[in-house]
Chains A and B, each alone.
Chain A
Amino acid sequence: MTNSLATRSLNHTCRIITALSIANTPLVVAGDIRGSVSAQATYFFSEAETAAEWQANGSLSADIELYQQIADNVSLTIRPFVRIDHQNEDRTHADVREFIITTNGDSWEFGGGLGQVFWGVTESRNPVDVINQIDNLESVDGSDKLGQLMLTFKWFNDYGDFELFALPHFRERSYIGSDGRPFPGFSINRNATQFESTDGNKHVDAAIRWSRSFDSWDLGLHYFSGTARDPALIPVSATELAPRYQQMQQTGVDALGIYGDLNVKAELIHRRGDEITDHAEAVTGLEYTMVGALSPLQENELLPEQWCTGESRNPITGLLCNDRLDIGLVLEYLWDERGEDASQPFQNDMLAGLRLAFNDERSSDALIGIIRDLDHGSTTFSLEASTRLFESFRLSTELRAFSGTSDDPFLRSLADEDFLRFELSYFF
């Protein structure tokens, strides 16, 4: 009740602000502010073997997007991000995710500034997604990315969408140090960072992409020439590694086919460079969705009637009686031609996953995944779930666990880094 009143008065205030700005500046057409503020609590199940002498952590973050239309078909988007972390000093950081001016016509779009670009179709890993540097401090799955300085031109016609990118400034990857968690097992000395190019982080990278939708398929092709976002890690002392950012040429394809409830996905890249062995990487798989998967239980009267008719709060019967529940089965294979010499952990791995969409008024969802390394026998388990609270809040949880990692060079040190995280976000 209080919440809806607050929203209403906020709306009222916004309307007054909009009215005022229209009165004062003739060019202003529309503006908008949206975003979220979040509180996060994380618990690590084991004590760390490193300098991090803590298991519980708290953290606050804000992710706000300001949008202003500055003329017909010209807009400015500014999206700052900030996190303050209690235990992980490294994780206290800020970034400008976007600061970009965009203008467009019916068949073209031009953009300049800090931007975010996502390419990809698969669930476990996106080898084709090469434009932005990942924000390593935010998440272990690389889904958060740093703003990338870019000039983009897009041209849309009957043959598909053509996109050109010039990327004049490179941003280095950040790493969690030995007093932070989850600690990747190696200390990175960023003061010793090396670049293959003599231009360093000023090397102008370039990329081109074509994409098109067909009846049942969405296809994309890209070529990237410039600094690889993922560095080689070079030993600089007995205990420290230095990132070395190499030059690469990458050609890739991504494809998504939709056949009823079955999605077929594939990402394939070929990468080469003076310091990089010519090689291919791929992620390919299937996702099959069972719409209203449990509805036959009720239709065929397999459940006791009182389970589903009463106002029962029992979560088990509640789940079984949810005839709106969609269950998705995800299966992916991850491959790197270099095998044991791969510079990334997923050289011969399988993902098996389960996606749940509850289709309730709270838009609850869950994703459970297990990635198994078929060479090293290591297993990564993850569970992510979320639900809406009080109209404008979202509560989410994340559980990650690692096992059998002793033979895996990339995951070895994560054996004691299993964690459970809760996050409450307020959206506006």
Chain B
Amino acid sequence: MKSTMKLKSKTALLSLLLATSTLVMAATPEEQGLAIAMEADSRDQGFVDSSANMKMTLRNRAGKESIRNVRVKTLEVNGDGDKSLSIFDEPADVKGTASLTWSHSDKPDEQWLYLPALKRVKRISSKNKSGPFMGSEFAFEDIGSQEVDKYEYKYLRDESIDGADTFVIERFPVDKNSGYTKQVVWIEKERYIALKIDFYDRKDSLLKTLSTSDFSQYLDKHWRPATMEMINHQSGKSTTLEFQDYQFKTGLSDSDFEKNALKRLR
């Protein structure tokens, strides 16, 4: 209830900001940053559910690669964070392992792991935001559901990168367990999609850069990148995500995102 109220007041603020450009000029950088984040969020609402195949390529400093294949499914939840499922197909020793996350905007996320060899569904702590996802350069918080409420914002400037006009905003994680002090996000003005994110570590020095590319539009509305590349400037390692077979409104329901459904996954 509280979160709905908050959302409504933010929407009101947003329409006000977008109504007249003079007001945009007058707004504080914090209000401008929030308005941009909310516009990006609202433009992607209504996807209902989505699924895709994700190929992860981990590269160490010497260029040695290792591959993971994960199927990801997401269910949009109105008024709260989304629910998501990850099913691991490769490497073979984790084949059949699956994780289920219920993200929340006002309380800690709930998370379960299914271990197929033991037929065991294990509740796990969701506090570990900063830990690496499957040994990659993506932290759990980088691949989780990106809710507006999870950050505070500040508009910095307009900038053109690779021929695209972007808003550059800073966002500050609200969660104390985040591995970052801040992120700088380049959001393309035309489609409101993040083209690049710089991540700053707890010492406030540049840790990683995420670049997204090869966007396609689905259902005439939702833009999704086919490629995401994360470079760790401190370790020299990098991870590339390649997405295939994006599907929307496939008929997934709440019962597919229950912990008792984990044992039936294939």
Contacts and interface: CB of A to CB of B under 8 A. Distances in A.
A and B part of one assembly: yes
Interface stretch (A15-23, A167-175, A184-192, A356-364): A356-364
Given A32-B266, A34-B92, A106-B255, A324 B61 contact: no
Interface centre among B132, B136, B202 (most CB of A within 10 A): B132
Contact of A260 (B93, B107, B127): B127
A261 B129 CA distance: 11
B196 to A, nearest CB: 24
B70 to A, nearest CB: 14
A364 B166 CA distance: 41
Contacts of A256: 123
Contact of B259 (A213, A291, A361, A388): A213
Contacts of B66: 361, 391
A364 B90 CA distance: 16
A118 interface: yes
Interface in B100-131: 107-108, 110, 118-120, 123-128, 130-131
Interface string A64-81: 000101000001000000
Nearest to B59: A361
A45 interface: no
Given A107-B255, A388-B93, A118 B131 contact: no
Contacts of B2: none
Contacts of A143: 118
B258 A104 contact: no
Contact of A362 (B95, B135, B259): B135
A139 to B, nearest CB: 12
Contact of B93 (A213, A326, A427): A427
Interface in A54-107: 67, 69, 75, 102, 104, 106-107
B131 A104 contact: no
B2 to A, nearest CB: 16
A249 to B, nearest CB: 25
Interface residues of B, number: 42
B54 interface: no
B265 to A, nearest CB: 11
A387 to B, nearest CB: 10
B85 to A, nearest CB: 16
Given A34-B96, A299-B203, A363-B135, A289 B91 contact: no
B125 to A, nearest CB: 5
Interface string A326-363: 10000000000000000000000000000000011111
A67 B92 CA distance: 16
B61 to A, nearest CB: 7
A109 interface: yes
A199 interface: no
B93 A215 contact: no
Interface centre among A216, A361, A388 (most CB of B within 10 A): A361
A299 B134 contact: no
A428 B92 contact: yes
Contact of B260 (A102, A154, A299): A154
B110 A213 contact: yes
B238 to A, nearest CB: 12
A416 interface: no
Contacts of B253: 106
B266 A291 contact: no
How big is chain A's contact interface, by range? Answer: 35 or more
A102 B110 CA distance: 27
Interface string B242-266: 0000000000010100111000101
B146 interface: no
Contact of B135 (A106, A161, A359, A391): A359
A5 interface: no
Contacts of A393: 93
A274 interface: no
A188 to B, nearest CB: 27
B94 interface: yes
Contact of B128 (A69, A291, A361, A427): A291
Nearest to A389: B93
A102 B135 contact: no
A359 B131 contact: yes
Given A34-B96, A154-B260, A361-B58, A292 B131 contact: yes
Contact of B60 (A67, A154, A260, A361): A361
Contacts of A363: 91, 93-94, 134-135
Given A258-B123, A261-B125, A289-B128, A360 B95 contact: no
A406 interface: no
A388 B177 CA distance: 29
Given A104-B264, A161-B260, A260 B125 contact: yes
Contacts of A299: 202-203
B128 A392 contact: no
Given A261-B127, A291-B131, 10 more contacts: A106-B253, A118-B118, A118-B119, A143-B118, A156-B255, A258-B124, A260-B125, A311-B62, A388-B93, A392-B93
29 contacts: A32-B266, A36-B93, A75-B264, A106-B253, A107-B255, A109-B260, A116-B119, A118-B119, A143-B118, A156-B260, A213-B110, A213-B123, A213-B259, A215-B110, A256-B123, A258-B125, A260-B108, A260-B177, A289-B125, A324-B132, A361-B60, A363-B91, A388-B91, A391-B66, A391-B67, A392-B92, A392-B93, A394-B93, A428-B92
The 10 closest A-B pairs by CB, nearest first: A427-B92, A106-B255, A427-B93, A361-B135, A260-B127, A392-B92, A118-B120, A394-B93, A218-B123, A116-B119
Interface of A: 30, 32, 34, 36, 67, 69, 75, 102, 104, 106-107, 109, 116-118, 143, 154, 156, 161, 213, 215-216, 218, 256, 258, 260-261, 263, 289, 291-292, 299, 311, 324, 326, 359-363, 388, 391-394, 425, 427-428
Interface of B: 58, 60-62, 66-67, 90-96, 107-108, 110, 118-120, 123-128, 130-132, 134-136, 177, 179, 202-203, 253, 255, 258-260, 264, 266
